[in-house]
Amino acid sequence: MQVQTIKLILLLIVCGFGLIILSNQLLVKASERAHVVGWICLVFSLCVFIAPLGILRQVIRTKSVEYMPFLLSFFLTISAVMWFFYGLLLKDYNIAIPNVLGFSFGVIQMVLYVIYRNGAKSDKKKLPEIPKKIIILEEHKIPELTEQIIDIVKISALLNSEKIPEVSHPINDGIEEAREHQNMPKDIEVKM
């Protein structure tokens, strides 16, 4: 499973990068390429900062930061601040704009961490263990069970069939024994 996941990720990276390069070379003028790549990078940069926000809902619902690592939020915030100043000094808004949002999202994550850090940690529920038992059937009971199963199948076939033909002479196919075993009244007519 892990090898397949790694292959899928590598395929997406190679195909995604190749698609960006190919589309820029074929569809965009040379003077506009840096601008288009800047916008593509802006979108992916926003995705990096927005991805950890999916866990915020779970943190608020469970009132526990068990699934939100503090160091990830902290270093994403510091990274956003550094890249913001770098973009600002270069006057490159494709670098500066997403990092303002990255800083904001990082601060939100760290504030939630401070609020819910002492929350109750959920105990992972374990599935109950099934005891391993080996059932050994005695050999003399197996034919008896087989006969009962056959009788049940015959009775259910009789009850569920649409057309039930009438038989003039009684057939000893186990129905009488089933009646005796289940204390069924004898006056019920069975048609076959």
DSSP 68-129: S-HHHHHHHHHHHHHHHHHHHHHT-HHHHHHHHHHHHHHHHHHHHHHHHTTSPPPPPPPPPP
pLDDT band at 119 (very low <50, low <70, confident <90, very high): confident
What tokens does 24 get?
Answer: 């820029």
Residue-range domain boundaries for the chain: 20-116, 139-182
In the prediction, which pLDDT does 58 show? 86
What CA–CA distances, in Å, run from 39 to 92, 97, 189?
Answer: 11, 11, 84
- Return the closest-CA partner of residue 74 out of 103, 39, 95: 103
Q: What is the rounded radius of gyration, in angstroms, for the C-alpha atoms of the chain?
A: 36
| pTM exceeds cut of 0.85 | no
In the prediction, which pLDDT does 86 show? 92
Residue 83 makes CB contacts below 8 A (sequence gap 6+) with 95, 96, 99, 102
- Whether the Cβ atoms of residue 60 and residue 112 lie closer than 8 Å to each other: yes
Q: Can you tell me the distance from the alpha carbon of 178 to that of 31, in angstroms, rounded to the nearest whole number?
A: 91
In the prediction, which pLDDT does 118 show? 82
Q: What is the pLDDT of residues 125-155, one digit of tens each?
A: 555 666 666 666 555 556 666 777 777 878 8
- Return the closest-CA partner of residue 80 out of 55, 110, 60: 110
In the prediction, which pLDDT does 140 show? 56
Which residue's structure tokens are 């601060």? 107
The mean pLDDT of 109-136, rounded to a whole number, is 71
pLDDT at 178 over 70: no
Which residue has better confidence, 22 or 125?
A: 22
pLDDT at 173 over 70: no
Average pLDDT over the chain reads 77
Q: What is the pLDDT of residues 32-44, one digit of tens each?
A: 888 888 888 888 8
Max mean pLDDT among 45-54, 110-119, 155-164 falls in: 110-119
- Whether the Cβ atoms of residue 134 and residue 81 lie closer than 8 Å to each other: no
In the prediction, which pLDDT does 9 show? 87
In the prediction, which pLDDT does 78 show? 93
Give the CA dihedral 112, 118, 120, 122, nearest 10 degrees.
Answer: 70
Fold of 20-116: Monooxygenase (1.20.1280)
